[in-house]
Amino acid sequence: MATKSVLAEVREITLAIELVELGARLQLLEAETSLSRDRLIKLYKELKGVSPPKGMLPFSTDWFMTWQPNIHSSLFHGIYRFMADNDKNQPTIQAIVKSYRLYLEHAALYGDEPVLSLTRAWTLVRYFESGMLQTNACTRCGGRFVAHAYELRAGYVCGLCQPPSRAGKTRKAALPHGAGERAPRIAA
């Protein structure tokens, strides 16, 4: 019996380490592990060399609706849905971690900076689970994009097919002439 509790604690610590290494905030660690707050703070300090950041977690669905965060959130959510649907026995947090790692690989593959933090990705999944968010299909490309729940769907055009007029202007201006002439990539 004692070995089961030791193994369970080792799994909890391993999960906490993985989450911290991916950039999880303390509130996420507390919600997803059974380790004490003090133990999580010590673990965070040991791994990162600094105290965990203070402050509230993101609490508004509006962040996910802006142009670039919407594209990245939609990409992550598509990966997450695939992972969760194809392994229904894994805990939600494991599907989130696997999906987030794939999201980071995708961003690195195309030279994009990841916009979505692990904490925002976790929050996004929670918003979907609570019915606050849904996906809408773009009428042009057919891709599925994050949208507010109960939002009108007729004629929806995504931010990739119809980017806002100022989309990408700041990054493009910071690059040498002609270097920013590519569209962001997303899997449909």
Q: Where is the binding site, in residues?
A: 138, 141, 158, 161
The CA-atom distances, in angstroms, between 65 and each of 116, 148, 176 are: 13, 8, 29
Nearest-angstrom CA–CA distance, 100 and 49 = 23
Task: Please say whether the dihedral angle defined by the alpha carbons of residues 156, 106, 134 and 121, taken in this order, is positive or negative.
Answer: negative
Give the list of residues 6+ apart from residue 56 with CB closer than 8 angstroms, or none: none
Nearest CA to 98 out of 79, 85, 116 is that of 79
Give the list of residues 6+ apart from residue 12 with CB closer than 8 angstroms, or none: 33, 34, 35
Question: Per the annotation, where are the binding residues for Zn(2+)?
Answer: 138, 141, 158, 161
Angle, helices 92-109 vs 2-21, to 10°: value is 30
